[in-house]
């Protein structure tokens, strides 16, 4: 067989496979909800691959926050950075991941502005899969940010009494809560017109709620009126759950609250988000 004949034979093989499928006459089975969600999650991962600048927020930002607060406030608040980092690091871990959650809504808003979601809505797939897949892709961001903070903390003296199991449990609690919390920003991504508007609203909510909590200092040192806000702040409960897991004290109340809040946020804001998505 000549080289030309070989090339022609290879070119016929895909066409023959396509003809075999069409000749069967049966309609291919639609993708399952899991398969469709996984496909869109993989799409989110590919977006990171082709735009590596997106990884700055999950690597550089957590490192800066960890080092800055440890060495800026460590001596003043705990006598030394080594002592302070034991208290601070779980809080900074929560703060870093919570800030990253805003990019879920921003990504959805960009896809809508570019018409990507209009094309996706025409596909014969499970409707929520595009949104669920985007959130699954962002789980990688949360995990990468968490790993970065923990590694930096270990390098500067963080020693979790809960060991490896406690650290993994703390990160898992945070990722689960962040998944539920991200539905809020997904909703705003559908409601607001521009990416900058989504970032503005998200920042206006996230920064006060993370700083006015137990991330940096014990609430007992705060004025009474501020303690009242800190005690009902969701971030406070999440930090308490993660901190207790990492230090091996296992605050079951805070852990149960964190998991319950993740379920409620997903159920409530997930339903509202899908209603908005279907009405666009």
> What is the model's pLDDT at position 28?
64
Question: Is residue 77 in some structural domain?
Answer: yes
pLDDT, one tens digit per residue, over 69-110 is: 999 888 888 888 999 999 999 999 999 999 888 888 888 888
Q: Mutual orientation of helices 129-155 and 81-100 as an angle, nearest 10°?
A: 170
Locate 103 and state its tokens.
């990019």
Number of domains in the chain: 1
- Give the global pTM: 0.83
* Of 134, 130, 61, 132, the residue nearest 98 (C-alpha): 61
The domain in which residue 178 lies consists of 31-279
Is the per-residue pLDDT at 62 higher than 90?
no
pLDDT, one tens digit per residue, over 127-177 is: 788 888 888 888 888 998 899 999 999 999 999 999 999 999 999 999 999
Is the per-residue pLDDT at 12 higher than 60?
no
% of residues, the chain, pLDDT over 70:
88
- DSSP state for residue 52 in the 8-state scheme: G
Question: Is residue 3 in some structural domain?
Answer: no
Locate 279 and state its tokens.
């009405």
Question: Is residue 116 in some structural domain?
Answer: yes
- C-alpha to C-alpha distances, 215 to 70, 84, 131, 245, nearest whole angstrom: 12, 12, 30, 15
Question: Is residue 23 in some structural domain?
Answer: no
> What is the model's pLDDT at position 2?
56
Locate 238 and state its tokens.
């999440």
Burial of 43 (0-12, 13-18, 19+ CB in 10 A): middle
Question: Is residue 104 in some structural domain?
Answer: yes
Question: Is residue 262 in some structural domain?
Answer: yes
State whether residue 93 is helix, strand or coil.
Answer: helix
Question: Is residue 24 in some structural domain?
Answer: no
Question: Is residue 5 in some structural domain?
Answer: no
């Amino acid at each position: 067989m000549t080289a030309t004949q070989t090339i022609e034979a290879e070119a016929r093989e895909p066409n023959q496979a396509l003809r075999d499928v069409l000749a069967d006459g049966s309609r291919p089975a639609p993708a399952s909800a899991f398969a469709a969600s996984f496909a869109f999650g993989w799409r989110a991962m590919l977006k990171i691959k082709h735009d590596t600048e997106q990884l700055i927020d999950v690597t550089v930002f957590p490192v800066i926050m960890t080092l800055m607060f440890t060495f800026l406030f460590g001596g003043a608040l705990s006598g030394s950075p080594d002592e302070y980092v034991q208290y601070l690091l779980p809080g900074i871990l929560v703060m870093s991941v919570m800030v990253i959650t805003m990019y879920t809504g921003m990504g959805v808003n960009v896809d809508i502005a570019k018409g990507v979601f209009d094309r996706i809505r025409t596909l014969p797939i499970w409707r929520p899969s595009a949104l669920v897949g985007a959130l699954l892709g962002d789980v990688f961001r949360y995990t990468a940010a968490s790993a970065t903070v923990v590694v930096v903390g270990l390098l500067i003296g963080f020693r979790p009494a809960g060991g490896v199991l406690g650290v993994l449990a703390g990160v898992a609690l945070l990722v689960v809560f962040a998944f539920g919390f991200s539905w809020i920003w997904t909703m705003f991504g559908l409601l607001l017109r521009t990416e900058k508007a989504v970032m503005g609203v998200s920042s206006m909510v996230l920064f006060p709620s993370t700083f006015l909590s137990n991330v940096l200092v014990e609430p007992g040192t705060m004025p009474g009126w501020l303690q009242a806000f800190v005690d009902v702040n969701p971030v406070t409960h999440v930090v308490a759950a993660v901190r207790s897991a990492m230090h091996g004290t296992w605050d079951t109340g805070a852990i149960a609250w964190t998991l319950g809040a993740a379920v409620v946020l997903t159920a409530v804001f997930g339903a509202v988000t899908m209603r908005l998505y279907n009405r666009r």
